[in-house]
Amino acid sequence: MTEKALDVVVVGSCMTDLVSQAPRLPKAGETIHGHKFFIGFGGKGANQCIQAARLGVKTAMICKVGKDFFGNNYIQNFKDNEVLTDFVSQTSDEATGAASIIVNKEGENAIVIVAGANMLLGKEELQEALPAIRRAKVLLCQLEINPQTSLQALQMAREHKVKTVFNPAPAISDLDCNFYTVSDVFCCNESEAELLTGCSVADVEDAHRAAQELQKRGCSAVIITLGSQGCVVLKAQESKSIHVPAAAVTAVDTTGAGDSFIGALAFYMADQPAMPLEEMARRANQVAGVSVRAVGTQTSFPSKRNLPAELF
């Protein structure tokens, strides 16, 4: 199957989500009573891969999990979502990554992650996965694995003329400047843009300025997501960014909404490459808007059959 063309290949993280629902987020040193707990599948890389797959493109995941119960379950989860698992490797040296998530009644969340096996994904695994990378239409990376592994994957994709999407999350202030030059689309949220540029990003006007600053560093195109305010899109070779508003929705749980957006964006880049980037972003906003209406991360991600036909 790896000899066949793939649409979206994701190099990134897998996390087991340990989710607690509570009336509010606890203060430092405080213990509060929650009302529901469940275990789910998460990790930015896997989330984005699953969302793209559910929209109908051929996807593959390049990642590392532990030789443990959570790792075995995650591999089965990929198979259940028709994601190619040839390059999902297991290790006895670390446990499968885990994320402890608290969600309040407004749908806001606080998250602590322990990367575990994710940090052992490296050059050897990328070389083994080169047949998949070079046949992809879009390669997608984030920062929940070793940053140099993500950078190398993006560089490999560029060498084979594969479109690249980079999501600098969780953001780091000392991001290697080469990430900008290997990103066809550099997609971050407002807090990530703020950390990377050093400028406040509180509204659409701030996002316009931040997008221009990021593009100056070498990105072909920049998207800054703004939650309920939609996103700002700055296309390649253009000096003025475009605000793409989002439809108003009542959020139940915002966990994973950004990953839903980026997975949908990768879907459109692979499936409709001639579509204007701002239209891809508008449709990705709608997909992510559906995801916040349900509890959980991947459990909230919509499939093609659950979305309006006009999105396709």
DSSP 8-state assignment for residue 35: S
The residue to which tokens 């990530």 are assigned: 192
Confirm whether residue 144 is marked as ligand binding: yes
User: Is position 40 annotated in a ligand binding site?
Assistant: no
- 255, 101 contact by CB (below 8 A): yes
93 is in an annotated binding site: no
Residue 294 is assigned to a ligand binding site: yes
Ramachandran area for residue 107 (φ above 0: left; ψ -120 to 50: alpha; else beta): left
Q: Do 289 and 300 form a contact (C-beta atoms < 8 A)? A: no
17 is in an annotated binding site: yes
**Sheet containing 109-114: order of strands:** 36-42, 15-21, 98-103, 109-114
Residue 296 annotated as lining a ligand binding site: yes
| Nearest by Cα to 262 from 49, 58, 43, 17 | 49
271 marked among binding-site residues: no
Asked if residue 227 belongs to a known ligand binding site, the reply is yes
Q: Is 73 helix (H, G, I), strand (E, B) or coil?
A: helix
Residue 52 in marked binding region: no
| 15 assigned to a ligand binding site | yes
291 is in an annotated binding site: yes
Q: Is residue 259 flagged as an active site residue?
A: yes
Tokens of 311: 């999105």
Q: Which of 7, 68, 184, 259 is catalytic?
A: 259
Q: Is 46 annotated as a binding residue?
A: yes
Helices 44-54 and 69-80: crossing angle in degrees, nearest 10, is: 20
Please indicate if the annotation marks 253 as binding a ligand. yes
Q: Residue written as tokens 């990003």?
A: 201
Q: How far is CA 50 from CA 58, 59, 79, in A?
A: 10, 8, 10
Quick check: helix, strand or coil at residue 257? helix
> Is 265 known as a binding-site position?
no
Closest CA to 279 of 220, 235, 248, 249: 235
Q: Is 71 annotated as a binding residue?
A: no
Binding-site annotation: residue ranges for K(+): 253, 255, 291, 294, 296, 300
Residues labelled as active-site residues: 259
Binding-site annotation: residue ranges for substrate: 15-17, 43-47, 144, 259
Binding-site annotation: residue ranges for ATP: 189, 225-230, 258-259, 285
